[in-house]
Amino acid sequence: LLVDKANYRHFMAKEIHEQPEVVGQTLARYVDMAAKRIALPFELPFDFYDIKRISITACGTASYAGHVAKYWFERLARMPVEIDVASELRYREAPLRKGDLAIVISQSGETADTLAALRYAKAQGLHTVSVVNVPTSTIARESETVLPTLAGPEIGVASTKTFTCQLMVMAALAVAAGKGRGELSDLDELKLVGELIEVPRLIAAAFAIEPQIEKLARDIAKSSAVLYLGRGTSFPLALEGALKLKEVSYIHAEGYAAGELKHGPIALIDESMPVVVIAPYDRVFEKTVSNMQEVAARGGNIILMTDATGASEATVDSLVTIVLPDMAATFTPMVYAIPVQLLAYYTAVVMGADVDQPRNLAKSVTVE
């Protein structure tokens, strides 16, 4: 397999920039673009009406895609979802119900813990769907239904483009579930698919903030710790932001639900603490702004990732405001992934870290 870096310094940069294209390819596989309807590549061997609960399992970045998807399934399909990291699901004897649905998410399709979780779910008599980037992988072979991400080979050890492609597949599946259970009308589907169709263009537009992030990375590189905050679907994105920064720059970072700030991490806030707040202008924006006020009152350096509306509505002065395109609220994580990934990337570059091959990490973890 020969993949080169094209004109990029690192695979990670190349793969981040491929996202408008590969997310678009993935989208085209899951929706009928002309009719604006969900059109899954395979017929599912179950009816969403018969599923009482969904269990989503994955590791690392893929688990955060699952965490975002939990919010989507609950909201759009009114289905209860449990999200687990695979290493926990496999040993805790989780009571899964025969006939329910297990979804595993994995770029490589070879992660040992995720494979074990899939086998566990199968043994309990669940339907199994895998969302994988490698269609010939073990996880793909052993699952009942395979939903591929069309990200192309991902070489950088830290996942980037597969994350947004996983989100696209899960978004399509959540809309299909909502439709299948009668929670979403034809009109709702039309509207949501219309929003999904906009996503690749919005991702492309998000790159306008790249020079600003590159500059910001020079400050972040001087920090010893960074806090990421978000609410709703921006919460798992905060977790992913912190993971990405840790993985490639080795700076300690933590992702937190914005509302949990006062229950602990607020103790860390001082003038030296950058706090990345991910807050598109959505239903929970005002709540996140009040958490930002708590940070500002303690001298924390706020880096606000929002849209034009959010930037004008925020009543707190932030050190830096990163303005992303205005968009409908449901699918923002696919667009906000861009500044989060770029911030980790440029910080690692400033620090001279081995971006594509971070120390101690492996692309695919095939042992426990």
Annotated active-site positions, please? 363
Site string for ligand G6P, 60-99 (x = CB under 6 A): xxx-------------------------------------
Nearest to 301 by CA among 335, 281, 271: 271
Of the ranges 183-191, 272-280, 298-306, 359-367, which one interacts with ligand G6P (CB under 6 A)?
Answer: 359-367
How far is it, in rounded angstroms, from Cα 160 to Cα 5? 15
Helix 19-30 vs helix 186-206: angle between axes, to the nearest 10 degrees?
A: 160
Nearest to 107 by CA among 145, 154, 144: 154
Site string for ligand G6P, 114-143 (x = CB under 6 A): x-----------------------------
Q: Does 255 bind ligand G6P (CB under 6 A)?
A: no
Residue found under tokens 């992030």:
213
To the nearest whole angstrom, how small is the minimum distance from the Cβ of residue 56 to ligand G6P? 13
Closer residue to ligand G6P in complex, CB, 103/273 = 103
Q: What string of DSSP letters covers 212-235?
A: HHHHHHHHHTT-SEEEEEE-TTHH
Q: Does 158 bind ligand G6P (CB under 6 A)?
A: yes
Closer residue to ligand G6P in complex, CB, 61/321 = 61
Q: Find the radius of gyration of the CA atoms of the chain.
A: 20
Contact 86, 113 (CB under 8 A): yes
How far is it, in rounded angstroms, from Cα 307 to Cα 321? 9
To the nearest whole angstrom, how small is the minimum distance from the Cβ of residue 140 to ligand G6P? 12
Residue type for position 323: V
Task: Please give the residues from 21 up to 60 whose contact with ligand G6P meets the rule CB under 6 A.
Answer: 59-60
Query: How many residues at the interface with ligand G6P, by CB under 6 A?
Result: 16
Closer residue to ligand G6P in complex, CB, 60/200 = 60
Closer residue to ligand G6P in complex, CB, 111/341 = 111
Q: How far is the CA of 298 from the CAs of 193, 268, 274, 364, in angstroms? A: 42, 10, 12, 41
Residues near ligand G6P, by CB under 6 A: 59-62, 106-108, 111, 114, 157-159, 361, 363-365
